[in-house]
Structure 1
Amino acid sequence: VAVIGLNLAAIPIKNMAPTGFDAWMQAITFISVALVAVYARGMTQRLLILVGLIVASVVYALLTNGLGLGKPIDVSGIANAAWFGMPTFAAPVFQAQAILLIAPVALILVAENLGHIKAVSAMTGRDLNPYLGKAFIGDGVATMVSGAAGGTGVTTYAENIGVMAATKIYSTAMFVVAACIAIVLGFSPKFGALIQAIPLAVMGGVSIVVFGLIAIAGAKIWVDNKVDFSDNKNLLVAAIPIILGTGEYTLKFGEFGLGGIGTATFGAIFLYWLLSRGKA
């Protein structure tokens, strides 16, 4: 679980702050989210990510569009976009080389999905292991439905796990409502243009918060289960996979590469089995 957050950390830090000004805007963003999370109350606190994003976007607009300190926000796309439009559909194409390259990615998604469920289990204090099979089947069916219409494969998203940790809202009914709203908004090019207009640095600052919350959720699992790190087995089973995942350690199998999250997850399982051999 910790590896998922740490593995994603480089994305906002290295790829979403191309200038020094953007790095400062990232700082303003995550500070805004933190202030809302601690000092706000009621619904505002529940919507800390959205409120922090709006506050940071307003500050960004004042500094760029108003004072010319950075790349200004371009809202022309919002004005020109239609309110309603159909997405582009495509029939699936079957290519053996592509299938052999992409299919093994399912192993990584299983590992990532497992980590997400463990994180939610730690945050809610409920044993969610009985739901693992349903979660894997849900991902598989969703991927087939998406692929049949020309979409990409789908999985659970670490960003959502981080938002759950921040808002303390874990209701499955809420996710059904959110999914329906997302589907409806998916038919609005104007809403898509609005999302595209959000400054990259602001999105990066929000991502820092979300990915950090996931990493802390992993640490919470250790604390809640009173893991004894004076035991060298526990110490190494935790230490090695964290570096594998954070450093994006990749093992190649022909054209397929098992990346950081996959090597960390399966590496932890293998190390625990190996170091437990012969012990009572």
Structure 2
Amino acid sequence: MSDSYFPRWTEKASGVIMPEERLPMGQTIVAGLQHVVAMFGATVLAPILMGFDPNVAILFSGVATLIFFVITGGRLPSYLGSSFAFIGPVLAAIGAGAAAGTAPNIAVALGGIIAAGALYTLIGFAVMAAGHAWVEKVMPPVVTGAIVAAIGLVLAPIAISMASGTSGTNAEGSAFSRWIALITVVSVGLFAVYAPGLWRRLPILLGALTGYLVYLVLANGMGLGTPIDFSKIAAAPLIGLPNFTAPVFDAKAIVLIAPVAIILVAENLGHIKGIAAMTGRNLDPLIGRAFVGDGVATMLSGSAGGTGVTTYAENMGVMAVTRIFSTLMFVVAALIAILLGFSPKFGALILTIPVPVLGGLAIVVFGLIAATAGRIWVENKVDFSNPRNLITVAVALVLGAGNFKLTLAGFTLDGIGTATFGAIILYHLMRDPKPE
């Protein structure tokens, strides 16, 4: 690493682009836009499910990414978006404090999100002070790989549901949606393998555009599906403030939501290991700063009505396809997201992307997340002839793929949580026997 806090980015126009390298300005902007497309669906979906304002979530995803960029010294390529790990606890906290027929008490949930961010930040400072060795001991490569794979698998049903579409309830409408999703998937693959020059680096963006245009022609032009509605774009103002909300600190909500920090630690560590495997770099010295960056960003997001945030596996999947890891493209993506947060019209435009197209993109990106686990295991020479490793991974994969949920003292863990804690606990319960 350089002695300076930030890298001295060197320009490079071809081959693998490492974190301390940068594409020419025009290509950097387009690459940043591609990452906005990759994160948008999940960053919007999570707040909608929790009853939050999506524009606030988009805005703070950009702010969070900039905070993370600064705290990690611009050395860890990541985009921070709405975390799905908060959905269950937030809904539980809101439900516990809401009367029937009333609007959800978002403010109470925000207090819990801030508490989770504070706990996460403290863990990060502990790692910075004591080193990352204890984190590695608790979550070695076999465990982090299992967690990364489980994250991809637990998201798989979401991708398939989106690919099936919501344009109709009959079999014909569902079939149309699936064909659009498959066209999008194939387009991404063809662009990734056969597109010339710069275009080969933009498979997600170009695949999304191809799927969008095909859907537009078939649905709006030929009436084969629900037409894309452009009226909301015309009605939305170009510039406008999202609906900010102040937090309220409630002990019950804090107890429900704060433990999510443990899941975020495992997610973030898995993402760091995944990026390290893809880049061939040792990113372990950045683990503590990454935790602090994510924790501070979560606290700031929760202070104004945003969701808790996490390093996004969707964008890691894009990096796996494009082999562009420059951290500067995430600065561009963050600035675009902030502009979108303050522009209802741009937000309305992105929201016209048909659900089956987003589903096709999700199939590719979520699949790449799960596949990254294999790279972690290969790079770290994980021995799967060892029953301890084999059973740890096997159980985590099924818990994630089946989205196994567990409720303890009013706190519900979804598939990511049970796979995370299941892998950690099972691995350490099965100590290697002493040789006979």
- Fold match by TM threshold 0.5: yes
Q: Secondary structure at the match of 1:257?
A: strand
What is the CA distance between 1:238 and its match in structure 2?
1.4
Return the alpha-carbon distance in structure 2 between the equivalents of residues 72 and 181 of structure 1: 27
What is the CA distance between 1:28 and its match in structure 2?
0.7
Match of 1:7 in 2: 154
Return the alpha-carbon distance in structure 2 between the equivalents of residues 93 and 16 of structure 1: 38
The one of 120, 131, 134 aligned to 2:289: 134
Q: Are 1:102 and 2:249 an aligned pair?
A: no
Residues 108, 258 of structure 1: 8 Å contact kept: no
What is the CA distance between 1:27 and its match in structure 2?
0.5
Q: Secondary structure at the match of 2:309?
A: coil
What is the CA distance between 1:15 and its match in structure 2?
4.4
Deviation readout 1:163-190 (Å, 9 max, x if unpaired): 1111111112221222122212221111
Q: Are 1:49 and 2:204 an aligned pair?
A: yes
What is the CA distance between 1:103 and its match in structure 2?
1.3
Residues 162, 356 of structure 2: 8 Å contact kept: no
Match of 2:401 in 1: 246
Question: Which sits farther off after the overlay, 230-239 or 212-221?
Answer: 230-239
- Calculate the TM-score normalised by the size of structure 1: 0.95
What is the CA distance between 1:57 and its match in structure 2?
0.4
Return the alpha-carbon distance in structure 2 between the equivalents of residues 232 and 76 of structure 1: 58
Question: Which sits farther off after the overlay, 52-61 or 103-112?
Answer: 103-112
What is the CA distance between 1:61 and its match in structure 2?
0.7
Match of 1:191 in 2: 346
Match of 2:245 in 1: 90
Return the alpha-carbon distance in structure 2 between the equivalents of residues 129 and 242 of structure 1: 25
Q: How many residues align?
A: 280
Q: Which amino acid aligns with 1:121?
A: A
Q: Are 1:213 and 2:360 an aligned pair?
A: no
Return the alpha-carbon distance in structure 2 between the equivalents of residues 212 and 54 of structure 1: 20
Structure 1 gaps, min length 5: none
1:153-232 maps to which residues of 2 (within 5 A)?
Answer: 153-232=308-387
The one of 259, 270, 277 aligned to 2:414: 259
Deviation readout 1:58-91 (Å, 9 max, x if unpaired): 0001111111111111111112221111111121
Q: Which amino acid aligns with 1:4?
A: I
1:115-134 maps to which residues of 2 (within 5 A)?
Answer: 115-134=270-289
Residues 159, 366 of structure 2: 8 Å contact kept: no
Which runs of at least 4 in structure 1 moved beyond 3 Å after TM superposition? 277-280
What is the CA distance between 1:277 and its match in structure 2?
4.4
* CA-based RMSD: 1.5
Q: Secondary structure at the match of 1:9?
A: helix
Match of 2:181 in 1: 26
The one of 216, 221, 224 aligned to 1:69: 224
Return the alpha-carbon distance in structure 1 between the equivalents of residues 207 and 259 of structure 2: 38
Return the alpha-carbon distance in structure 2 between the equivalents of residues 278 and 231 of structure 1: 11
What is the CA distance between 1:256 and its match in structure 2?
0.7
Structure 2 gaps, min length 5: 1-147, 166-173
Residues 400, 416 of structure 2: 8 Å contact kept: yes
Deviation readout 1:196-252 (Å, 9 max, x if unpaired): 100000001001110011111111122233333222222112111111111112221
Question: Which sits farther off after the overlay, 63-72 or 14-23?
Answer: 14-23
Return the alpha-carbon distance in structure 1 between the equivalents of residues 217 and 320 of structure 2: 31
Q: Secondary structure at the match of 1:279?
A: coil
Return the alpha-carbon distance in structure 2 between the equivalents of residues 272 and 255 of structure 1: 26
Return the alpha-carbon distance in structure 1 between the equivalents of residues 227 and 292 of structure 2: 44
Equivalent pairs: percent with the same residue? 61
Return the alpha-carbon distance in structure 1 between the equivalents of residues 311 and 217 of structure 2: 36
Q: Secondary structure at the match of 2:238?
A: coil
- Calculate the TM-score normalised by the size of structure 2: 0.62
Return the alpha-carbon distance in structure 2 between the equivalents of residues 272 and 85 of structure 1: 50
